[in-house]
Structure formats: structure tokens, C-alpha cells
Structure 1
Amino acid sequence: MRNIPLHWQIIAAILLAVAAGILGGADASIGGLSFIAVYAFLGTMFLNALKMLIVPLVMSSIISGMAGMGGDRLEKLGGKTLLFYACSSLIAILIGLLVVNIIAPGSGDNQALAATISSSDPALSDTLAKVEGRGMSDVVQVFVRMVPTNIVAAAANGEMLGLIFFSLLFGFFLARSKSEHATTVMHFWQGVMSIMTEITMWVMKFAPLGVFGLVAKTVAVTGFAAFKPMLLFFVTATLALLIHAFIALPLVLRYIGGVSPKKHFAAMTPALLTAFSTASSSATLPLTLKSVQEESGVSKQVSGFVLPLGATVNMDGTALYECVAAMFIAQVYGLELSIVQQFTIVMIALLTSIGVAGIPAASLVAISVILGAIGLPLEGIGLLLVTDRILDMMRTAVNVFSDSCATVVIARSEGEETRIAINSTKTDT
């Protein structure tokens, strides 16, 4: 197994997991031990190990990167990062809007789907309880969460925005400190980052087992029979995500970044497969950092700044899905949306893809905000529950790939050669 590349190990684990999930189903057991319990154990242990790395890795990456930058470079880097994230999310939403209008998965015979929604469904009731009372005020709360009252509590609760903001401040003032101890502190954080990278590499040796558990559990619980009524919506959302990931972003890499999309895909494959399996951009962050730095050749300064921020606020796949889902529900209910209403969906999807970061059931909260804005019942979310888990895995992979593309393009704009640049002469050292 040691000689087999990690991405092939993960692909094999996914295929085995799909087979195990289909053959075993939700009720299979041996000696009273449920297969799903075993899958859950493997998946949870792997996810916990990845999440364990997030706080020290994010803090050390940002602080080390910030400490090595000048004030002018930091200002430019921040502006470029925010501009890229806003533009890529907007492109993703427009792709979703175009595809859902062309295919119209909720029109025709599928309009009868609205009658299948049962208000007594426990899954729907739980979901509505999570999104009830949510609105645009939750988008504003992103700025409140950015400045935590207690950084230790923020780290413990996984409030990444607050953690990133504190790390940015710490690194900024560390770089400008005249204290005789500043160099020692800088070396400390650089040491932490190196150690966390080594731990990440060790944890990833268990990735095939963790991925197997996560995917097998999903397949066993979800199954495929329930997908039939929602198949056209599933295909529509998947097609839009694929267009963004395999056409739009590669074009950006090739013509704006001047790098090889094929090489970057190869470099990011383990991270993308892990993102697909875990459905968590944050949990995948340790491996994303490793792949971008070691395989694509982006500096730790740029990647340490751009990637943690992107894992929190850049949600291309999520924004695209919100748009497609809202349009689908409108079609199911027979609502013809005007250009103004569709533009409203685009703008709300763009804002909420950032603003609801960190909120439980974030994409469903965002969709509830959109539905409220165009006058549709929240019960329409019940249509999405069957396919949500699989599509969540897909859109997370797109989110992570977009983050990595932003990092590479911004690194190139900063004059870095990278290993994946067209005609690159950079080699491993």
C-alpha cells in the first residue's frame, strides 16, 4: 500500500464503500454489531483527527505568513483574495442559474412533487426548526462573529472567522514588533506549522479507512431508490457543479493564472477526494494546505493567508447549489420568476454563501432566506433532503477546488513561479 499513491487508495476506498453500502444496506450486522456503527466509528475517528489539526494549523499558517509580509503586500494580497472570491462565487451562481433555467428540473411532471411533502415528516420538522426565524440578519452577524470576545472559546467552538481575524492581527503586529522576543515568537509559530504539517501527513495515512467509513455510511443510509423522483434536479445541480469545476475554474487557471489545470487537478486530487468524503471544507483544510504548498508549489505565506480565509468565506459550490435549489423549488410550485426576482436570488445567494458560514445547516438556512425573499413556503426545503447529503459532498469538493485555484492565481500574480506554471522550471528541493 505504501507504494500506491494516496489518491488511488482513496478512490479504491470510495468504490469499496459504495459496494459495501449497497450490499449491506442500513440493517446489516454481524453478532449484533451493526455495519453502520462500524462505518460511523471509522468515519468519526478520521474526521475528529482532521478537525483536531485545524486550530493550530490555521493559526500557525496565518501568523507565520503574516509575519513574513510587508504592510503593502498584505493590503494587495487581501484585496486580490476578496476580489477573486467574490468573482468566482458570482460566476458559479450564474452558471447554476443558466443550467437550471435550461433544464427546468421542477417543471412539467415534476410539479407534482410539491404534493409529496409531508409536514409530519420528522426530517423536515427538524430541518424547519433549524432554519425557522433565520433571515438576512444572519448575514450581518458574520461581522459580529469576526471579532470574538474570547479567542479560546472561539477556537473551542470552531468559530473560524474569529480565529482567523485574531491570527491576522497577531501576525500583523508580530511583523512590526520591535521587541527582542519577536524573533523567538516568530520561530515558535514556524515550528508549530512544520510540526502540524508532519502530523497532517501521518493522519492522511489513515484517509482510506476514514473515507471508506464516511462514504459507506452515507450510501447505506441514503440508498438510491429515493433519488428517482429527484433525479432530474440531482443531474441539474451536478452538471452545474461540474461545469464550474471542470470548465470555468480551469479557464481561470490557464488564462489568468498561467498554470496547467491538469497539473493542478493532479496536485489537488487527494484533497478533493477527502473534501468529497468528509463534506467539510474546514476538515479538509490541513490536506488542502499540504497539497497546495508541496504539490502545486505555492509559498506558505500566500497559501497560509488565502486558504484558511477561503475555507471559511469562499463557497462557490454552496452558492451555486443555493441558486439551483431555490429555482427548482419555484418551478415545482409553478412560480414563474421575473428577471428581477432571479437577480434577487443571485445577490442573496452571493451574500448568504459568505454570511451563513458557521451556522448549522448553512446551505439550508441560505435557501430559506431566498425562499422567503421570493414568497415561497419553507416546506419546499423538504424536497432537497433526499439528495442533500450527496450534493453536499460534491459542492464541498468544488468549494475546496475554488479555494486552491484562488491561492494559485494569487500566488502567480505575486510573482511566484509555482511547480504547475506553464513552462515552469521550478523543481522539488
Structure 2
Amino acid sequence: MKLHHQIFLAMVLGGLAGAATSESTRLLGLPLLPAYDLIGELFINALKMVVVPLITTAIISGMINVGEDDNLGRLGAKTVVFYLATSLIAILVGLVVVNLIVPGVIDGEPAKDLLGLAKETDQALQSIEGRGAADFTEILRQLLPPNLFQAAAETQMLGLIVFSLFFGYFLRTLRGAPGEHLRQTVEGIYQVVLRITMVIIRFAPLGVFGLIAATVTRTGLDAVEPLALFFITVLLALALHMFVVMPLLIRFLAKRSPWRHLQAMTPALLTAFSSASSAATLPLSMECVEKRSGVSNRTASFVLPLGATVNMDGTALYECVAAIFIAQAYGLDLSLTTQFVIVLTALLTSIGVASIPAASLVAITVILGVIGLPAEAIGLILVTDRLLDMCRTAVNVWGDSVGAVLLARSEGEEDVLRRPMRELDADPL
């Protein structure tokens, strides 16, 4: 059974188990509610355990593998600027939509009671109380921490991300045996951390079961309404970015047909949606971009692998919406400063999110920690995470392909999106 089917089944079983039990229900003399809590807590702790090694090694590995030195000039600079700009636009789209819909507030009241958050609300309010414009200086301090190990222990990921970017860039310029050995070591660590993360994600159905069963046991099925609004909010924001913002860039910057590029990328987008993995889709993405969209191998081989590592438009948007939804459900009135922190952290952590299913859950725990919310609140969004993961992965892959088209056109390539439609229709892809 595929993972998303397992998670869906776990969600249903968790809801049924929670509906069939109360806080005093016992099985073989043991209370069930603490057992539900333990299962969910173990899953959350496992995600938190891999936060630091996953994001740091992902960024360093991505910087090492960005391409040969002759590709790091003009094309490299334009690629990085484009990816950062589109990720920022995606986050701002999500920010506007979630503030307009306010999915964490139901009938004028925070959804904390419906979601079983009441017992932690006071603590969350105390942790964020008194924050204001002066916190901006603290954000700048976190960008360059004096002690990386202390920053890691306190989950201050901003400084670790900045250090990882510098470390990866200069490591790729280190010649000779020491540089090669260190690069192989970092890549080996990254691959091991990926495997550990995948094992944790494999246990997601159990974690979802425990978290959903505990929530339904405490609150019943009233959590459906705010989660449905959250789901719709994310889908609307993703759709705006994918079908409005990015096509406008193709039309006005590349001066080509967005519809033709969408047709060219359909096989890759379907694969991305079904696999929820940018990395797994990368070979097919390169095939579609080169053979169906007409981008040169020189541009595609540099832009797409880099994009699979650092360009996560859909993920960045989702992280922003999820964090603000949770804050709304807690009844927090987020100031502009705090929302700026969310935008900045979503932008930086999206760079370090590994291109594997559900890895963004790790990044969301980072954002929650930065704004002072408990990481356990991530349990609110696990019910809808798998399907939204599939949607945002498709947006990620689409963003990479649009970047390849725009950058190819900026390099003077004239064959981009010139292939006749009838040839695309006959293509076996």
C-alpha cells in the first residue's frame, strides 16, 4: 500500500478510534488517551530530531553540486535571484490569502477549542507576548550566531542556514584531496540523513493515527471545519501562484505561451503530484524541459538540479500559511514584525527542505519555534499534509521548469517553446 493511502487509512482509523473512546476509556486496564498522545509525541520528536542535520546537509550538498565553475557566473547569479524572487512572491501570495480567509478563526473565535489547543494557549501567548519592532535586531543577530552548536541546540536555524550556504560555497572551491574527501563525507552524511528521514516519514501513518485519535477523543469531530478551511486556503494560494503568477512571467518575460509550456510539462507535473518528490521527478522534468519545451541541455542541466534543491515555491508558501493558520488557531494577533519573521524563515528554510515527501513538516517546526509556538501544534495539519504535499510538489516542479524557460530566453535561446503542438500531442511522454 502506498504511503499516502496508509496515511489516509490512518486518518480514518484515528478518527473512528477517537470517536469511539473518551478521555476515561481504558483497554486492558490502561488508559487509551495517553497511548494516543505517546504515539503522536514520538513521531513529532523524531521529526524534531532530524531538523538540524537534514537542513544543514541539504544546503551544503546543494551548494556543492550546483555545477561546474564555468556555470557559476552570469547564469548562476540569475538562477539564484530568480528562485529567491519567485519563492518570496509565493510566500507573499500565501500571506495575503491566509490573512484574507483567516482559516484558524471560526465564527469570530479562534479554533483552539475545536482543535484541542486550549491547554497550551496560555503558554503560547506568554512566549510571544511583548514582541515588537525591536525583535528585528534579534533576527539579524541570529543570522550570524557566535556559537553554532548553541544555535543548533536552541533550534535557531537562521544562523545555521547562513553558515551552511557559506560552507557549501567555499567547500566546492576547495581543491585537492582534502576538499574531495570532505565533499564526499558531507554527501555521505546527507544521504544517511535522508534515509533516516525517510524511515521517520514511513512511520507517519502511526503518528497521524495517534495525533488524530487524541484530538478526536478530546474534541470530537469539530476539528473538520477549520481544517477544511485551511485546506482550501492552501489550495487557493497554490493555484494563484501556479496558474496566475508564473504564467504571467512566461508571457511577459519569456514572451512565450504559458499554455504550451503547461502542455509540455504535463508528464512531469503528473509524476510530481503522484510521487510528492521533486528529486524523483527530476529526470522526467529535464526530459520535458529539453525535448518538449526546447530548453538547451546547458541551461536545463544547471537550472533544474539547482531548483530541485533550493527552489521550493509551493513548500515556502505552504510553510507560511501553515504557521499563520496555527497562530490564528491559538488566538495570536500576529504583528507585522512577526509575520515578517515567518516570511523570512519560510524563505530560508525552503532552501534547505530536502526534495522528498513530507520533509516540509520538519521546516514548519523550525518556523513555529522561531515565532514561539510549540512544535506539537504541527499535528493540526498532518491530516491534510499528504494531499497538500502532492499539490505543492507539483508547484515546486512547475516553478523549476518556468525558471528554466525564463533563464534560457534570457540567454538568447530562440527555440524555447517553439515546437508545434501536434508534435507534443504525438509525444509518448
Q: What band does the TM-score fall into relative to the shorter chain?
A: 0.5 to 0.7
Equivalent residue, structure 1, for 2:412: 415
Measure, in 2, the Cα distance between the counterparts of 1:268 and 1:360: 20
Measure, in 2, the Cα distance between the counterparts of 1:134 and 1:421: 48
Equivalent residue, structure 1, for 2:42: none
| Residue 76 (structure 1) aligned with residue 74 (structure 2) | yes
Paired amino acid for 1:79: A
Paired amino acid for 2:352: G
| Contact kept in structure 1, 2:358 and 2:386, CA below 8 Å | no
Measure, in 2, the Cα distance between the counterparts of 1:258 and 1:423: 16
| Contact kept in structure 1, 2:309 and 2:352, CA below 8 Å | no
| Contact kept in structure 2, 1:139 and 1:355, CA below 8 Å | yes
Secondary structure at 1:116 match in 2: coil
| Residue 268 (structure 1) aligned with residue 265 (structure 2) | yes
| Contact kept in structure 2, 1:142 and 1:356, CA below 8 Å | no
Equivalent residue, structure 2, for 1:400: 397
| Contact kept in structure 1, 2:104 and 2:329, CA below 8 Å | yes
Equivalent residue, structure 1, for 2:338: 341
**Residue 98 of structure 2, aligned match among 76, 97, 100:** 100
Task: Count how many residue pairs are aligned between Structure 1 and Structure 2.
Answer: 311
Correspondences of 1:177-188 after superposition (within 5 Å) = none
Measure, in 1, the Cα distance between the counterparts of 2:308 and 2:397: 7
> 1:339 Cα shift?
1.6
Measure, in 2, the Cα distance between the counterparts of 1:108 and 1:227: 11
> 1:360 Cα shift?
9.3
| Residue 292 (structure 1) aligned with residue 292 (structure 2) | no
CA shift in 2, pair 1:105/1:88, >3 Å: same
| Contact kept in structure 2, 1:289 and 1:304, CA below 8 Å | yes
| Contact kept in structure 1, 2:405 and 2:416, CA below 8 Å | no
| Contact kept in structure 2, 1:142 and 1:355, CA below 8 Å | no
TM-score (norm 2): 0.62
Measure, in 1, the Cα distance between the counterparts of 2:340 and 2:283: 36
| Contact kept in structure 1, 2:269 and 2:397, CA below 8 Å | yes
Paired amino acid for 1:91: I
Paired amino acid for 2:363: A
CA RMSD in angstroms comes to: 4.3
CA shift in 2, pair 1:243/1:390, >3 Å: same
> 1:376 Cα shift?
2.0
Q: Deviations over 1:255-276 (max 9, x none)?
A: 0111110010011111111111
CA shift in 2, pair 1:98/1:76, >3 Å: same
Task: Report the more deviating stretch, 234-243 or 335-344.
Answer: 335-344
Paired amino acid for 1:367: I
Structure 2: state its 5+ residue gaps.
Answer: 14-61, 120-151, 172-178, 193-201, 213-220
> 1:354 Cα shift?
1.1
CA shift in 2, pair 1:347/1:236, >3 Å: same
Measure, in 1, the Cα distance between the counterparts of 2:409 and 2:311: 19
Measure, in 1, the Cα distance between the counterparts of 2:277 and 2:357: 12
| Residue 370 (structure 1) aligned with residue 367 (structure 2) | yes
| Residue 317 (structure 1) aligned with residue 314 (structure 2) | yes
> 1:362 Cα shift?
3.9
Equivalent residue, structure 2, for 1:112: 111
| Contact kept in structure 1, 2:408 and 2:416, CA below 8 Å | no
CA shift in 2, pair 1:76/1:341, >3 Å: same
Paired amino acid for 1:106: G
| Contact kept in structure 1, 2:246 and 2:402, CA below 8 Å | yes
Q: Deviations over 1:174-219 (max 9, x none)?
A: xxxxxxxxxxxxxxxxxxxxxxxxxxxxxxxxxxxxxxxx9xx9xx
CA shift in 2, pair 1:308/1:335, >3 Å: same
TM-score (norm 1): 0.62
Measure, in 2, the Cα distance between the counterparts of 1:315 and 1:260: 23
